[in-house]
């Protein structure tokens, strides 16, 4: 389960319906952020959170984690990337505060540390906690990989088990060199310098490519999204092609190749 707060990107249209803000008269709301700076010209000007508001959001993250646990989820990820609220606090491009949540790296990372600590008080130590970060803003003067390494080490000591390494999202003007595996160097650098487990994402489409990333210790896991949208049974197809026997989800067993619902391990034959 991934939990997030959209921050200044909240109250916006669904991507397939255009871009920009949804007015309050249309069911939208006044978004909040570390500073009263909009994401783009067609986005709402957010309200800068007061410290009481920050505490309320920290508590809301912890409550979301508690509900996820109650619902039976066994892996939790805090979304601190892509220009959402936690990333807005981390990045000097979006955070212009002059209090204890702005300015220095220690202060800008305070909100994330507080969220992690609050969640770890309700999320069992026996269950993994991931944090997705944008390892760089891809903009001079913005959040960068060196700060990511430092903060990853800090939250690792607070109980984070894996850093899910993405990038960008804080500013629409960023020039991102998108290509196959373009974010993998971030996962490798954070892994090498902190000793934490990392996840690699971003235009990783081939099983051979994913295998190479894990085999060469560039990351500990590879996280897929787009390929699942294209081909929901992709993991089973890959297992079939590689001759690997994998357990099917229990709900799929009625479609087992030999027609035996009780069979727990079958060769994918999609």
Which residue in the list 43, 84, 101, 252 is annotated as catalytic?
84
Nearest to 46 by CA among 33, 28, 29: 33
Burial environment of residue 153 by CB neighbours within 10 A (0 to 12, 13 to 18, 19 or more) = middle
Q: Is 252 a catalytic residue?
A: no
Which is it for strands 246-247 and 265-266: parallel, antiparallel or unpaired?
A: antiparallel
Round to whole Å and give the CA distance between 174 and 223: 23
Round to whole Å and give the CA distance between 241 and 232: 16
Cβ atoms of residues 82 and 134 within 8 Å: yes
Beta-bridge mates of residue 78: 3, 131
Q: Is the dihedral of CA 177, 182, 187, 193 positive or negative?
A: negative
Show the beta-strand stretches assigned E in 47-146: 47-48, 76-80, 129-134
Cβ atoms of residues 114 and 58 within 8 Å: yes
Residues marked as catalytic: 84
């Amino acid at each position: 389960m991934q939990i997030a707060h959209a921050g200044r990107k909240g109250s916006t249209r669904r991507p397939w319906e255009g871009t920009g803000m949804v007015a309050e008269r249309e069911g939208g709301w006044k978004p909040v952020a570390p500073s009263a700076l909009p994401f783009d010209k067609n986005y709402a000007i957010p309200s800068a959170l007061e410290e009481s508001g920050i505490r309320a959001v920290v508590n809301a993250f912890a409550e979301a984690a508690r509900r996820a646990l109650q619902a039976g989820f066994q892996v939790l990820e805090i979304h601190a990337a892509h220009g959402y609220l936690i990333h807005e606090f981390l990045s000097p491009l979006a955070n212009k505060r002059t209090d204890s949540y702005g300015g220095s790296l220690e202060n800008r990372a305070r909100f994330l540390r507080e969220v992690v600590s609050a969640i770890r008080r309700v999320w069992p130590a026996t269950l993994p906690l991931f944090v997705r970060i944008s390892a760089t803003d891809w903009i001079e003067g913005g959040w960068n990989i060196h700060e990511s390494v430092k903060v990853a080490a800090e939250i690792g000591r607070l109980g984070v088990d894996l850093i899910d390494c993405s990038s960008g999202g804080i500013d629409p003007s960023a020039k991102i060199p998108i290509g196959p595996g373009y974010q993998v160097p971030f996962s490798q650098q954070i892994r090498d310098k902190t000793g934490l487990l990392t996840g690699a994402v971003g235009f990783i489409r081939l099983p051979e490519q994913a295998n190479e990333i894990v085999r060469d210790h560039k990351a500990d896991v590879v996280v897929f999204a787009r390929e699942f949208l294209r081909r929901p049974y992709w993991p089973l197809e890959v297992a079939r092609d590689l001759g690997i026997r994998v357990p099917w989800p229990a709900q799929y067993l009625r479609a087992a190749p030999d027609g035996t619902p009780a069979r727990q391990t079958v060769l994918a034959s999609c």
